[in-house]
A and B are shown apart, each in its own frame.
Chain A
Amino acid sequence: MALDKSFVGKAFAPFTFEVDKSKIREFAQALGDENPIFFNDAAAQEAAGLPGIVAPPTFPTVFKMWGEGGSSPHIKAMGGDVLRLLHGGEAYEYYGLIRPGDVITGQTQVVSIEEKESRSGHLDIVVFQTNYHNQRGELVVIARTTIVLR
């Protein structure tokens, strides 16, 4: 069943995530990352230019998964079969640090819905863009998520 292409350009409801130290530490530990800037304010301050504990580079995935359940709800809304869903790629643009105490608001928009024929058959490729702002209204991260339905 083809995806509903009228979703291109559509924005989904905004969602929020409150960042705290315990989540940053939990995430860094899950990656086996012992870098003290993710665990200890004083250690982070001694590292150049950091006000304290900061979020690791791929932390925005926490906002997307905990905040809006990832891409699956949007794919379902478009008529896609989430059992065929693969994460094709992810790209971040960084505009500001993410810190404990930040309240991050995200909003996802559908950038494109395309079809491709490959050796493994028909593919649907959906690109989402999510813009994340903090509680001061500052843009902190733009995320582009590529979902492939195989």
Chain B
Amino acid sequence: MTIYFDDLSMGDELPSLTTVPITETQLVRYSGASGDFNPLHTVAHVAEAAGLGGVIAHGMLVMGLMGRAITAWVGVAPLRQFGVRFTGIAKPGHVIIVTGKVVEKLEVEGEHRVRCEVSAVDQDGHQKVQGSFVVALPLQDE
């Protein structure tokens, strides 16, 4: 279902995404896929020695989960910008909930674009990643 620029108003929310809990195996898969083999993500004794209590998720993994929500909403082709700050640590057992809302409608280089704030928190509401993205959307009559 196409999302049109005309359909959206300030404050409109993206469909929220809730993941299954992060697992240690997912961190192994993500390390291999992304090429980030920092042992904090996969080697328990290294993460414990660093005072983290156990392995932690890559910030980029959580950004990737936010990307899932964006793609599910509007696909990949409309994406123009996507930027985040890593504000909290996600760990195995955490469920990640991605929410976002429209904060700006703008016209840039002949495209109608929408800027959204986007946030990832865990099941207790603790934030992991905060950012924004911009997508270019068609007009209803195009």
Contact = CB atoms under 8 A, between A and B. Distances in A.
A21 B67 CA distance: 18
Nearest to B19: A32
A62 interface: yes
Contacts of B59: 87, 90
A26 B85 contact: no
Interface stretch (A6-14, A43-51, A101-109, A116-124): A43-51
Contacts of B34: 27, 30, 61-62, 65
A94 B63 contact: no
Given A50-B76, A91-B82, A58 B64 contact: yes
Contacts, number: 115
Interface string A21-45: 0010011011111010100000000
A55 B64 CA distance: 12
Interface string A49-83: 11000111110011001100010000000000000
Interface string B28-40: 0110111110000
Interface string B91-108: 000000000000000000
Interface size grouping (class) on chain B: 35 or more
A92 B83 CA distance: 6
Most buried by B among A23, A57, A146: A57
B81 A94 contact: yes
A91 B75 contact: no
A32 B62 CA distance: 11
A144 to B, nearest CB: 7
B68 interface: yes
B71 interface: yes
A91 B83 contact: yes
A34 to B, nearest CB: 9
B65 A31 contact: yes
Question: Top 9 A-B pairs ranked by shortest CB distance?
Answer: A91-B83, A65-B35, A57-B67, A66-B35, A30-B33, A30-B29, A30-B30, A89-B85, A27-B33
